[in-house]
């Protein structure tokens, strides 16, 4: 966001990017299991509130390879994501209410304002560093489990 100050000695002032401290996230372990029996473990930060869902991984310079973020939308719905203000290339896994991967977007481009659609109703999105999906062979049909996913009523 740029603010233009009239009559100031410096014609353009760029407001500093929101710091990571602006929105706090808790974290938990998450596993993704394939139907073939392979299991991959991650630590995910939780985006549960509206500010957390909006902020996500924006402004991050890096993220450990075994970390990510779990977005919980409360109830299944079509979801649209974008990469505006996101420095990291990401893989996105879209999950149904049971944690089953229904759609994957690999290598989402940093800073892109292109809309990334869930392709239908989803309850969760997991964001991981770009390349993890291919490296680990993650696929539609894999199942994610975590305390947050398991806690939903009606499962």
- Kindly indicate the confidence band of residue 153, based on its pLDDT and cuts at 50, 70 and 90: low
Please provide the DSSP assignment of 66-114 as one string.
TEEEEEEEEEEEEEEE--TT--S-EEEEEE-TTSBEEEEEEEEPTT---
The model carries a pTM of 0.85
Q: Where are the domains of the chain?
A: 28-150
| Neighbour-count burial for 62-78, b at 16+ CB within 10 Å, e otherwise | ebeeebbbbbbbeebee
CA 3 to chain CA centroid, Å, is 29
The topology (CATH level 3) of 28-150 is: Jelly Rolls (2.60.120)
Mean pLDDT over the full length of the chain: 86
Does 122 score more than 50 pLDDT? yes
Which 3 state secondary structure label does DSSP give 134?
A: helix
| 55's tokens | 């902020």
- Kindly indicate the confidence band of residue 120, based on its pLDDT and cuts at 50, 70 and 90: very high
What pLDDT was estimated at residue 61?
Answer: 94
Which 3 state secondary structure label does DSSP give 122?
A: strand
């Amino acid at each position: 966001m740029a603010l233009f100050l009239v009559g100031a000695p410096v014609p353009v002032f760029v407001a500093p990017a929101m710091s990571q401290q602006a929105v706090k996230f808790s974290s938990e372990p998450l596993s993704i299991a394939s139907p073939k029996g392979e299991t991959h473990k991650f630590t995910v930060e939780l985006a549960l509130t509206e500010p957390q869902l909006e902020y996500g991984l924006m402004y991050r310079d890096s993220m450990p390879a075994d970390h990510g973020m779990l977005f919980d939308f409360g109830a299944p719905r079509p979801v649209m994501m974008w990469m505006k203000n996101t420095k990291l290339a990401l893989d996105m896994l879209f999950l149904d209410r049971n944690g089953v991967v229904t759609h994957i977007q690999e290598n989402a481009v940093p800073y892109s304002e292109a809309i990334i659609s869930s392709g239908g109703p989803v309850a969760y999105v997991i964001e991981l560093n770009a390349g993890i999906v291919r490296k680990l062979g993650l696929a539609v049909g894999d199942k994610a489990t975590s305390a947050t996913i398991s806690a939903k009523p009606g499962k």
